[in-house]
Structure 1
Amino acid sequence: MTELHTGGCQCGAVRYRAEGEIGCPHVCHCRMCQKAAGNYFMPFGGVRYENFTLTRGQPAWFQSSATVRRGFCGQCGTPLFYDGGHDHISITLGSLDDPQSVKPELQTNLARKMKWFGELNTLPHDRRMDTSAEDDAEIARSSCQHPDHDSEGWPPEVRS
């Protein structure tokens, strides 16, 4: 059976399907990825163009260098794709409906990795900052975030 991965942006304006294995799942620490993600790293995995389909909407594109363009949702800004012009497109692993399904196998550009990154598991946990079941229920009632599965329609009804 062929693996099937679906995903998309936070608001649901852009959705995609990737058939088959997601190759070279990795975490990139380069400065360009940090800026594109607004984070300390960006996780990617590649899928061959012939196994990739946009199922809703079109991404906006930013030409981040002479050889690379980055796709994102023009509505909500979610980073979605890295297109280096080879035989595949890389998708951001966090945009998968099931991000747990693809585990990074390597890291790149370690010279830019945050020096303290290995210490994250030693940071204290403040449970007071966790969301409660009541908070989660309120968020679910008012959320405009697209669910982690394909849906019939978009956009959702506007909630007050």
Structure 2
Amino acid sequence: MEKHNGGCYCGAVRFQITGLPLWSGHCHCRSCQQALGGAFVTWAKVAAKDFDVTKGVIKTIRKTPGIARGFCGDCGTTLTYSAETEVAGQDWSADAWFAAATLDDPSIVEPKAHVFVSHQQPWIKLADGLPASEEF
């Protein structure tokens, strides 16, 4: 099975995924906007068993109840997202979510949808033809 590497801006944290992401999408929720400082973030997921931190430690912040956002404690790069409770009726504990752009080769990710477009900024115009959901 192929392996793909990624990590933070400064190189203090590195990770490896086994295989290709199982799903990916662009999240426009206000929480992601504030946490990442952008209009949206592209998340990807693999099975939790297929995500390994190979260097450093991912620090977490839990501002939203039940949500842990992982980042590099040195440079602040957002790396991971995990839900400790069900999201949209799904148990996410078997998945590892990571910011797609933190892969060394983010072109392996193929986003499938836009989610939380109810929070989409008015200056973002979607023209990629992907499905868009008001929530997740």
Q: TM-score, normalised by structure 2?
A: 0.82
Partner of residue 21, structure 1: 20
Larger radius of gyration: 1
Partner of residue 94, structure 2: 87
1:102 pairs with 100, 104, 109, which one?
109
CA-based RMSD:
1.5
Determine the C-alpha separation between the residues in 2 that align with 1:118 and 1:65.
28
User: Post-superposition shift, 1:5?
Assistant: 1.6
* 1:5 and 2:12 aligned: no
Partner of residue 117, structure 1: 124
User: Post-superposition shift, 1:112?
Assistant: 0.8
Report percent identity of matched pairs.
34
Question: Judging changes above 3 Å, is the alpha-carbon distance between structure 1 residues 119 and 109 closer, same or farther for their aligned structure 2 residues?
Answer: closer
Whether the 8 Å contact between 2:20 and 2:108 is mirrored in structure 1 is no
Determine the C-alpha separation between the residues in 1 that align with 2:43 and 2:31.
13
Q: Which amino acid aligns with 1:49?
A: A
User: Post-superposition shift, 1:64?
Assistant: 2.7
* 1:30 and 2:32 aligned: no
Determine the C-alpha separation between the residues in 1 that align with 2:43 and 2:37.
15
Question: Judging changes above 3 Å, is the alpha-carbon distance between structure 1 residues 84 and 26 closer, same or farther for their aligned structure 2 residues?
Answer: same
Q: TM-score, normalised by structure 1?
A: 0.70
Determine the C-alpha separation between the residues in 2 that align with 1:21 and 1:119.
25
User: Post-superposition shift, 1:67?
Assistant: 1.2
Determine the C-alpha separation between the residues in 2 that align with 1:67 and 1:5.
28
Q: Which amino acid aligns with 1:111?
A: S
Task: Give CA-to-partner distance per residue, 1:68-100, whole Å, 9 cap, x none.
Answer: 100000000000000113211200001000011
Unpaired segments ≥5 residues, structure 1: 121-160
Task: Give CA-to-partner distance per residue, 1:87-129, whole Å, 9 cap, x none.
Answer: 1120000100001111211110011112231289xxxxxxxxx
More strand by share: 2
Alignment of 1:106-145 (within 5 A): 106-118=113-125
Number of equivalences: 119
Task: Give CA-to-partner distance per residue, 1:46-79, whole Å, 9 cap, x none.
Answer: 1111111100000110013221100000000000
More helix by share: 1
